[in-house]
Amino acid sequence: MKIIIQIFAFIYCLHDLSGQTLFESALSGKSNIVVKTPIEIYHLKDYNLKTREFLNWLELKQVEFNKTDTTEIKMLIEKAKTNNPIFNSWTTKELPRKILIDDNDFISFKKGLDIVPWKTNLSKKRIKKEIRKYNNRGNDRRSFPLFMSRPVYSNSGNYALIGFIKGNSGGNVSLYKKDDTQNWEFVEDIYGWSN
């Protein structure tokens, strides 16, 4: 019986370590403060992917990319334009290490430090600084809170688009892809704007 439990524990650990989820990839390096209500993916209405420019840009950045997938990405962009967005609030299960707020909430340091993982005093200091800036922001919301759309997936499930708005400093629509190991990785911002 003990061996069976150890086998299940080993399989669970492998599954847990097996890949980066789309949300982990999308939120890497972004604000720890996320508004609970998802947004619609903005600014794609008149956008058309220019294949040659897109591929040249990826080549310049040395991103590995299958050129035949541009058709699928064009279809994904069209799907995002016509998609009826889902506005169900983000949950802590979906975004477990982010501080989920209503747009004008006050955040206590204790709550923030309990939610966002930190291991060093420097990372603890950064989290506190972000919370302090957010709480004292007035009208200046340059990079937070983060507003995020629910993902729109390609028909194959190998690509996804997510829209972001960073405070009042603009936003972007980002493209992600699954790699060979089923990890999600950032490809490129296909569209961005600033305010």
pLDDT of residue 28: 92
Q: Is the pLDDT reported for residue 1 higher than 60?
A: no
Q: Is 162 helix (H, G, I), strand (E, B) or coil?
A: strand
Q: Is the pLDDT reported for residue 9 higher than 60?
A: no
Q: Residue 154: inside a domain, yes or no?
A: yes
Domain count, the chain: 1
Q: What average pLDDT does range 28-37 have in this prediction?
A: 92
Q: Residue 5: inside a domain, yes or no?
A: no
pLDDT of residue 10: 37
Q: Residue 67: inside a domain, yes or no?
A: yes
pLDDT of residue 67: 85
Q: What average pLDDT does range 161-184 have in this prediction?
A: 90
Q: What average pLDDT does range 43-69 have in this prediction?
A: 86
Give the H or E element holding residue 141: none
Closest CA to 176 of 163, 159, 153, 193: 159
Q: Residue 165: inside a domain, yes or no?
A: yes
Percent of the chain with pLDDT over 90: 56
Q: Residue 50: inside a domain, yes or no?
A: yes
Q: Residue 169: inside a domain, yes or no?
A: yes
Containing domain of residue 87, as a range?
20-193
pLDDT of residue 145: 87
Give the H or E element holding residue 14: helix 2-17
Q: Residue 139: inside a domain, yes or no?
A: yes
Q: Residue 80: inside a domain, yes or no?
A: yes
Q: What average pLDDT does range 138-147 have in this prediction?
A: 72
Q: Is the pLDDT reported for residue 5 higher than 90?
A: no
